Amino acid sequence: MAADAEIQFLETTPDRIDAYQNTELLTAVRRRDLDTLRKIGVEFTAAGKTMNACNRFGESILHLACRKCSTEVVQFLIDDTASGGMNCSLLVRDDYGRTVLHDACWTISPPWILLKLILKESPILWRVSDVRGHLALQYVPKSVWSKWITFIQENQ
Helical packing angle, 71-78 and 34-47, nearest 10°: 20
The arrangement of secondary structure in 2-154, i.e. its CATH architecture, is Alpha Horseshoe (1.25)
Domain positions in the chain: 2-154
In the structure, what pLDDT confidence band is assigned to residue 64 with cuts at 50, 70 and 90? very high
73 and 34 Cβ atoms separated by less than 8 Å:
yes
Using one digit for the tens of pLDDT, what is the confidence trace for 72-123?
A: 999 999 998 878 899 999 999 999 999 999 999 999 999 999 999 999 999 9
Report the chain's mean pLDDT, rounded to a whole number.
95
Q: What is the reported pLDDT for 125? A: 97
Reply yes or no on whether the pLDDT at 45 is more than 80. yes
In the structure, what pLDDT confidence band is assigned to residue 1 with cuts at 50, 70 and 90? very low
Question: pTM of the entire structure?
Answer: 0.93
Q: What is the reported pLDDT for 23? A: 98
Reply yes or no on whether the pLDDT at 58 is more than 60. yes
Question: How far, CA to CA in Å, does 101 sit from each of 24, 36, 113?
Answer: 25, 25, 12
Radius of gyration of the chain (CA): 15
